[in-house]
Amino acid sequence: MQMPAAFADKPLIATEAVPACPVCGSEASQQFASGYDYELLTCRNEWFFVQCDQCSHVRLDPRPAVDTLKVIYPPTYYSYNYEEKISPVAVMGKQMMDAAKMKGILKNLDKLPESFVDIGCGNGRFLRAMERHGLNRENLYGLELDERITASLSAEGFKAYDRRVEDCTEIADNSIDLATIFHVIEHVDDPGSVVRKVAGWLKPGGVFAIETPNFESLDARKFKTTFWGGYHIPRHWHVFSPATLRKLVEDNGLTVVDTQYHTGHSFWMYSYQHLFNFGKSPKPRLAKWFDPFNSLPVLIGFTAFDKLRSDLRYKTSAMLMLAQKN
Ligand SMILES: [Zn+2]
């Protein structure tokens, strides 16, 4: 599609090809979607998602070269400081949804875990949540690629490391009861190697909970060609469906025990925001109403809508798959 004018003065960044599907290895694929960095406008590249002919996994190809990561993840990237950017009401709502999410995970374990790792632990909110469930800080591990965050968590007594899963040697095999990775696996270069590594860390019977966008959701279908917020172009390198995520975890040593669906309110809002900013007849003033950080009434509306849909057993765009080590 034609480049929107807002991207004209942005840099063109280096890319690398991803010839083979990381889920099944096939090199046959079809174009699935294309678009620009509508959210952060970091570069003027047009990006393409392709779908594997064999297993239907969707990947970004080509994707940003490794030495451009500091361009596509600017220092203001919201994952690092979202609580400072959203309203106190939204923070409270998020805390309630986090607690419900953890409860839904823990009900699948035979007993309360004694050891826990959160991959992409941010400010450590899930480590603290598990501490409230009675775990000791020396058994609470967090991985986050920001040294300032891991230094401050380590100073508090948590086991926090600024490493990628693949490079982390501090966690022993067969030592972890519960591992979580919320909205991170879609960002990594090789999701299979992440699952294999975590499967090694788990004790037999241990559970790995993976939350990631689902391209078989209502919002994903409605905005499929370019504007779906779940693409997070060009930072999401993989987009899964329940079937492709199941194949990934089961091919790498785990067994799926449950799949849950949470609210994809941010994806709904970004989808409309991108449509109103960059669609055929732009409506920038309307787009402002769909900013997830700055439009509480719309946020509450989409959260309620998706909560109802998930209660009615519809598949939303935020799927949470639980897989167990035998
Ligand atoms: Zn494939």
pLDDT bin (cut points 50, 70, 90) of residue 164 is very high
Compute, in angstroms, the gap from residue 155 CA to the centroid of ligand 1.
Answer: 43
pLDDT at 90 (0 to 100)? 78
pLDDT at 183 (0 to 100)? 95
Q: Say whether domain 82-324 belongs to CATH 3.10.200.10.
A: no
In tens, the pLDDT along 263-280 reads 888 999 999 999 999 999
Domains of the chain, residue spans: 82-324
Compute, in angstroms, the gap from residue 44 CA to the centroid of ligand 1.
Answer: 28
Residue 318's DSSP bridge partners are 213, 262
- Rounded to an integer, what distance in angstroms lies between the CA atom of residue 111 and that of residue 135? 12
pLDDT bin (cut points 50, 70, 90) of residue 170 is very high
Identify the sign of the CA torsion 64, 70, 76, 79: positive
Enter the tokens of residue 264: 């994809």
105 burial type by CB count under 10 A (0-12 exposed, 13-18 middle, 19+ buried): buried
Compute, in angstroms, the gap from residue 30 CA to the centroid of ligand 1.
Answer: 11
In tens, the pLDDT along 11-52 reads 999 999 999 999 999 999 999 999 999 999 999 999 999 999
Of the candidates 160, 157, 156, 146, which has an alpha carbon nearest to the alpha carbon of residue 80? 146
pLDDT at 97 (0 to 100)? 86
pLDDT at 199 (0 to 100)? 98
Compute, in angstroms, the gap from residue 246 CA to the centroid of ligand 1.
Answer: 12
Find the mean pLDDT for residues 294-319.
Answer: 86
Model-wide pTM > 0.85: yes
Q: Residue 52: how many CA atoms within 13 Å on its side-chain side?
A: 22
Find the mean pLDDT for residues 312-317.
Answer: 87
pLDDT at 249 (0 to 100)? 98
- Rounded to an integer, what distance in angstroms lies between the CA atom of residue 16 and that of residue 82? 30
Whether the predicted pLDDT of 68 surpasses 70: yes
- Rounded to an integer, what distance in angstroms lies between the CA atom of residue 77 and that of residue 67? 17
Compute, in angstroms, the gap from residue 171 CA to the centroid of ligand 1.
Answer: 30
Compute, in angstroms, the gap from residue 24 CA to the centroid of ligand 1.
Answer: 4
In tens, the pLDDT along 220-239 reads 999 999 999 999 999 999 99
Write out the residues surrounding ion ligand 1, Cβ under 5 A: 21, 23-24, 26, 52, 54-55, 57
Compute, in angstroms, the gap from residue 51 CA to the centroid of ligand 1.
Answer: 8
Compute, in angstroms, the gap from residue 78 CA to the centroid of ligand 1.
Answer: 31
Find the mean pLDDT for residues 65-89.
Answer: 79
Encoded amino acid at 73, one letter: Y
Compute, in angstroms, the gap from residue 43 CA to the centroid of ligand 1.
Answer: 28
* Cβ contact 281:307 at 8 Å: no
Compute, in angstroms, the gap from residue 201 CA to the centroid of ligand 1.
Answer: 26
pLDDT bin (cut points 50, 70, 90) of residue 181 is very high
Compute, in angstroms, the gap from residue 274 CA to the centroid of ligand 1.
Answer: 29
Of the candidates 306, 278, 295, 287, which has an alpha carbon nearest to the alpha carbon of residue 220? 306
- Rounded to an integer, what distance in angstroms lies between the CA atom of residue 133 and that of residue 85? 28
Angle value at C-alpha 312, between 308 and 316, nearest 5 degrees: 70
What is the chain's mean pLDDT, rounded?
93
Compute, in angstroms, the gap from residue 107 CA to the centroid of ligand 1.
Answer: 32
In tens, the pLDDT along 116-129 reads 999 999 999 999 99
pLDDT bin (cut points 50, 70, 90) of residue 94 is confident
- Rounded to an integer, what distance in angstroms lies between the CA atom of residue 294 and that of residue 287? 11
